[in-house]
Chains A and B, each alone.
Chain A
Amino acid sequence: MTNAYIPDGPTQLAIYSKMALLKINDEKTRRAISTGRIVMSFYSYRGQEVIPSALAVNLRDTDYLCTIYRGIHDMLAKGMPLKDLWAEVAGRMDGTCKGKGGPMHLTYPKKGIMVTTGVVGSSMPIANGLGWGAQLQGTDDVSIATFGDGAANIGAFHEALNLAAVWKLPVIFVCQNNRYSEHTAYKTVTPIERISDRAAAYGMPGIHVDGNDPIAMYAAAAEAVARARAGEGPTLIEAITFRFNGHVFGDPAGYIPKEELAAAVEADPVPRFRAKLIAEGLATEEQLAAIEADCDSQIEEAITFALNSPFPGLEELSSDVYGAAA
């Protein structure tokens, strides 16, 4: 790790601000569902806030993101506006996809959020295409594919990594290894300790990083982004994290041993990083409390906006199937 990849104070604060937004948004989403305010399938990302937050501070709006159903944290970190997000998950006309995509297909090209897929593994081949496009255009924009540990066992992962490496595409494959593929523990379905070891098979660098450590995650992301922007090709980052909740909202997650979950929650990266910033004098308690209060009120405002937005009219049912011929 070089000094260039150590985040300065303001960057650390920016990372924390995103983490706080993500955490509060996850909590409020689960509350909105359990109180019946919103009906949606929700794949909680609570516990995984560090990865997209430390990644996104290295990105521009013109960099591309392909994420998955457990990806609202990725999108918020990349700049998805809260009102557009909440109106979409509420199925309303003001949603970013006019209510036609929902939580698993959120899209917001203005911030480079190009594809959200509900299919495990499918973010990767499409991220390659976006990176290929950037390469052809001669920009130094990069393309991010995020996915879970389960997706490292689907064919698309291997096809995508191979093509990205052989075409030297500016793509960063970010595996958020939360230790469970849906209900199945990592070791039950994956014979090697580290998914990042698979990078070597495709001739690309593989970085194994503590995805709950914002400083380490920042460095991993910065290194991979710099490599991609310089035209030096793709990187596979395996960021180790832990999912605090079940696969989907309502899943009691009985398959996660109690001690394992308790240890992960005990090591919750959000309050841990908060305490670190204060201890190191990078922020004050009041400053962070104000950031959190602001996140809270922005989300409340977005929920109110969403619930007051009209449902799409029937004319939306069969529009946007095909475009108008030129």
Chain B
Amino acid sequence: MSQDKQITIVGALNAALADAMADDEKVLVIGEDVGDPEGGGVVGVSSGLSTRFGDHRCRSTPISEQAIMGAAIGASLIGFKVVAEIMLMNFTAVAMDMIVNHAAKLRYMSGGQTSVPIVIRCMTGAGLSTGGQHSDFVEAWFAHTAGMKVVAPSTTEDAYGLLRAAIDDPDPVLVIENTPNYSAKGPAPVAGHRVPIGKAAIRSEGSDVTIVAYSRTAIESIAALPTMAEAGISAEVIDLRSIQPWDEEAVLASVAKTGRCLVVHEAVTPFGPGAEIAAVVQERLFGKLKAPVMRFGAPFNAVPFSKVLEDMHIPKSARITERAIAMVKG
């Protein structure tokens, strides 16, 4: 595939599903509106799949999140690899019993006799004025659950590669897609590309501060680089890509070099993934830190509707720059 070819995140995800279904007939896709008669998914991620592979392999469901997850779990227990779309991340709350009490735990509770190799795809993220129940980042719920894996791609290549890796994976993997980022374009991934779960990407090398981010905040952090450079700050941006497990090795190596760590995420700050990352960094690198490890997440409130408030809810690049300057220059 030509490196020059550009596709959207939606296109990359669609290609990942199509390639996985072509490679393995055990791969199935279910969810609300995923079939072509229903539009191939509300943003088109599953477009063309039911036509190409049959509506028995890409099947629209009732609006029944528990039933969707139960169907995915049950079929996966006997060898199918089901990619279940829970349209919006907030709606995982409706299926939490199936995900947390069953998908995540059946392997352990059965002493390894059964396993649940499912993928749960969902979209989320503030920025489109969809308010408090359509745009939350609630990855901490899942990252806190033993048995679950959680990934959050921010580029076309990672969207393809992480979704393929998630489908290959022997355990339940939650794939978080960022709604405002769906139409962003990037290089078309090479067919069959995989991004290992648990491996971060260093987006820019720097010496003064390590910025750990993922999903939209990785993009915002990269966007902040020029203004940070103007202020004389050399930032190393790590796109975590996987939240559970997260790449401790890459983060610790970077912070050991820079001596400063700023964790940025769109989830609310208290008890968010940043708390875990900050704790591990200070446990391992206490004597090497030049400043306290800092977190920059969303404030502790629901996502607001009004554009002015919503803009302030998201950790955007200008404010990431401010935080980084404060950390480095004191």
Contact = CB atoms under 8 A, between A and B. Distances in A.
B102 A122 contact: yes
Contacts of A254: none
B61 A143 contact: no
A2 to B, nearest CB: 31
Contacts of B70: 122, 124-129, 156, 159-160
Interface stretch (A18-26, A37-45, A107-115, A189-197): A107-115
A322 B74 contact: no
A321 B114 contact: no
A155 B63 CA distance: 12
Interface string B278-317: 0000000000000000000000000000000000000000
A129 B74 contact: yes
Interface stretch (B104-112, B227-235, B320-328): B104-112
B190 interface: no
A124 B79 CA distance: 19
Contact of B107 (A109, A119, A134, A323): A323
A107 B110 contact: yes
Contacts of B170: 322-326
**Residue from B111, B149, B197 whose CB has the most chain A CB atoms within 10 Å:** B111
Nearest to B101: A119
Nearest to A320: B112
B74 A321 contact: no
Interface residues of B, number: 45
A321 B107 contact: yes
A230 interface: no
A100 B111 contact: yes
Interface string B84-111: 0000000000000110011000111111
B72 interface: yes
B76 interface: yes
Contacts of A322: 107, 147, 149, 170-171
A209 to B, nearest CB: 25
Given A101-B109, A323-B171, A325-B169, A125 B80 contact: no
A267 B227 CA distance: 83
Interface in A177-191: none
A206 interface: no
A107 B111 contact: yes
A136 B61 CA distance: 16
A143 B82 CA distance: 18
A264 to B, nearest CB: 32
Contact of B71 (A101, A114, A128, A134): A128
A74 B17 CA distance: 39
Given A124-B70, A136-B56, A320-B107, A162 B169 contact: no
A166 interface: yes
Given A122-B101, A136-B75, A163-B64, A323 B115 contact: yes
A212 interface: no
Contact of A101 (B79, B101, B110, B147): B110
Nearest to B80: A133
Interface stretch (A90-98, A232-240, A245-253, A285-293): A90-98
A105 to B, nearest CB: 4
Contacts of B67: 125, 128, 156, 159-160, 162-163
A86 interface: no
A98 B117 CA distance: 21
Q: Which of B59, B102, B108, B197 has the most CB of A within 10 A?
A: B108
Given A122-B101, A130-B74, A322-B171, A107 B114 contact: yes
B109 A97 contact: yes
A117 B107 contact: no
Interface in B169-208: 169-171, 197
Contacts of A132: 71, 74-75
B62 interface: yes
A269 interface: no
Contact of A155 (B66, B69, B111, B112): B66
A132 B62 CA distance: 15
A273 B197 CA distance: 58
A319 interface: yes
Contacts of A166: 62
B248 interface: no
Contacts of B79: 133
B109 A114 contact: no
Nearest to A124: B70
B173 to A, nearest CB: 11
A130 B102 contact: no
Contact of B78 (A117, A133, A319): A133
Nearest to A326: B168
A321 B115 CA distance: 10
B74 A143 contact: yes
A131 interface: yes
A109 B76 CA distance: 13
25 contacts: A107-B109, A107-B110, A107-B111, A108-B113, A114-B74, A122-B70, A122-B101, A125-B71, A126-B74, A127-B74, A128-B71, A129-B71, A129-B72, A129-B73, A129-B75, A129-B76, A132-B71, A156-B66, A156-B97, A159-B70, A160-B70, A320-B112, A322-B149, A323-B107, A323-B170
Given A66-B74, A125-B71, A323-B112, 5 more contacts: A114-B114, A119-B102, A129-B72, A320-B112, A326-B170
Interface of A: 64, 66, 95-101, 105, 107-109, 114-115, 117-119, 122, 124-134, 136-137, 143, 155-156, 159-160, 162-163, 166-167, 319-326
